[in-house]
Structure 1
Amino acid sequence: MNEHTTQHADCTDPKVVNSDTACEITEFSGESVSTQVITAEIEQFYPDEVVGNIPPFPHLFRHPLKAAFWMIRMIFGIASLVLFLALIAAVPIVNFIALGYLLDVEGRVARTGKIRLAFPLLDIAPRLGMIVLGVALWLIPLFLLAGAAADAHLIDPGGSSDRNLHLINRLSAIAIAVHLCLALARGGTFWCFVRPLKNAIWLYQQIRAGGYLDRAAGHVSEFFASLKLGKNFSLGLRGFLGALIWLIIPSTMFAAASSPEGGQGVAVAVTLLGGVSLVIVLGWLPILQAHFAAENRFRAMFELGIIRRKFKRSPLLWMLSLIIVYVLSLPLYLFKVAALPRDAIWGITLIFVATIYPTKILLGWVYYRATFKTKNAWFGWRWLSRTILFPLLALYVFILFFTQFIGVHGNRVLMEHHLFLLPVPF
Structure 2
Amino acid sequence: MKPSTSGKPPLSVPPSAHPAPARADTPYPEVLPADGSAPDYPAVLPAEPFAEVLPVEEVPVLQPADEVTSVEDNRGLTPPARRLGVWRRITSGCEWVFGAISLMVGLAVLAPLPLLQFFTFGYLLEAGGRVARTGRLREGFPGVRMAARLGGIVLGAWLVMLPLQAVSSLWVSAQIIDPYGLAARRWKAVLMFLTIAAAFHIMAACSRGGRLRYFFWPFNLFWLIRRWWRGGYYTEARDAVWNLFVSLRLPYYFWLGLRGFVGSFLWLAVPVTLFALGRQAPLLGFVGALLLAWVVLYMPFLQIHFAVANRFRELFNLRAVRAAFARAPWAFGFALLITLLFALPLYLLKIEMIPREAAWLPSLIFMAFIFPARLLTGWAFGRARRRPLPRHWFFRWTSRLGMVPVALVYVLLVFFTQYTVWGGIWSLYEQHAFLLPVPFFGM
TM interval, short-chain normalised = 0.7 to 0.9
The 5-angstrom pairing of residues 23-422 of structure 1 reads 64-198=86-220, 210-257=231-278, 263-264=279-280, 267-422=281-436
8 Å contact from structure 1 (residues 60, 67) kept in 2: no
Q: 1:335 to 1:379 in 2, by over 3 A?
A: same
Shift of 1:322: 0.6
8 Å contact from structure 1 (residues 182, 203) kept in 2: no
The CA distance in 1 between the partners of 2:254 and 2:225, in whole Å, is: 39
Secondary structure of 1:339's partner? coil
The CA distance in 1 between the partners of 2:231 and 2:91, in whole Å, is: 37
Matching residue of 2:16: none
Q: 1:208 to 1:370 in 2, by over 3 A?
A: same
Q: 1:202 to 1:60 in 2, by over 3 A?
A: closer
AA paired with 2:387? Answer: K
Corresponding residue pairs, total: 360
The CA distance in 1 between the partners of 2:267 and 2:138, in whole Å, is: 31
The CA distance in 2 between the partners of 1:248 and 1:218, in whole Å, is: 45
AA paired with 1:349? Answer: S
AA paired with 1:252? Answer: T
The CA distance in 1 between the partners of 2:106 and 2:369, in whole Å, is: 15
The CA distance in 2 between the partners of 1:201 and 1:413, in whole Å, is: 60
AA paired with 1:317? Answer: A
Q: 1:205 to 1:155 in 2, by over 3 A?
A: farther
The CA distance in 2 between the partners of 1:394 and 1:417, in whole Å, is: 15
The CA distance in 2 between the partners of 1:163 and 1:196, in whole Å, is: 30
8 Å contact from structure 1 (residues 88, 98) kept in 2: yes
Secondary structure of 2:102's partner? helix
Shift of 1:97: 1.1
Shift of 1:211: 4.0
**TM-score between the two structures when normalised by the length of structure 2:** 0.77
AA paired with 1:236? Answer: G
Shift of 1:288: 0.8
Identity of aligned pairs, percent?
Answer: 39
Deviations 1:11-64 (A, max 9, x none): xxxxxxxxxxxxxxxxxxxxxxxxxxxxxxxxxxxxxxxxxxxxxxxx999955
Shift of 1:406: 2.1
Q: 1:424 to 1:80 in 2, by over 3 A?
A: same
AA paired with 2:384? Answer: A
AA paired with 2:277? Answer: A
Deviations 1:126-180 (A, max 9, x none): 1111111101111111111111111122223322111111110111112111211
Shift of 1:210: 4.8
The CA distance in 2 between the partners of 1:215 and 1:145, in whole Å, is: 36
Shift of 1:247: 0.5
AA paired with 2:285? Answer: T
Secondary structure of 1:187's partner? coil
AA paired with 1:360? Answer: R
Structure 1: 5+ residue stretches without partners: 1-58, 258-262
Shift of 1:214: 2.9
Q: Which has the higher helix share?
A: 1
8 Å contact from structure 2 (residues 155, 212) kept in 1: no
8 Å contact from structure 2 (residues 303, 315) kept in 1: yes
The CA distance in 1 between the partners of 2:119 and 2:140, in whole Å, is: 16
AA paired with 1:230? Answer: P
Q: 1:215 to 1:64 in 2, by over 3 A?
A: closer
AA paired with 1:249? Answer: V
Q: 1:160 to 1:62 in 2, by over 3 A?
A: closer
8 Å contact from structure 1 (residues 239, 289) kept in 2: yes
Secondary structure of 1:123's partner? helix
AA paired with 1:374? Answer: P
8 Å contact from structure 2 (residues 208, 218) kept in 1: no
The CA distance in 2 between the partners of 1:136 and 1:342, in whole Å, is: 22
**TM-score between the two structures when normalised by the length of structure 1:** 0.80
RMSD over aligned Cα atoms: 2.1
The CA distance in 2 between the partners of 1:151 and 1:410, in whole Å, is: 45
The CA distance in 1 between the partners of 2:179 and 2:191, in whole Å, is: 16
Q: 1:284 to 1:151 in 2, by over 3 A?
A: same
Q: 1:412 to 1:207 in 2, by over 3 A?
A: farther
Shift of 1:342: 2.3
Deviations 1:331-367 (A, max 9, x none): 1112222222222111211111222111111111110
Secondary structure of 2:110's partner? helix
The CA distance in 2 between the partners of 1:171 and 1:201, in whole Å, is: 26
AA paired with 2:160? Answer: W
Q: 1:287 to 1:341 in 2, by over 3 A?
A: same
Secondary structure of 2:419's partner? helix
Shift of 1:193: 0.9
Matching residue of 1:260: none
Deviations 1:72-96 (A, max 9, x none): 2221111111112222223210111
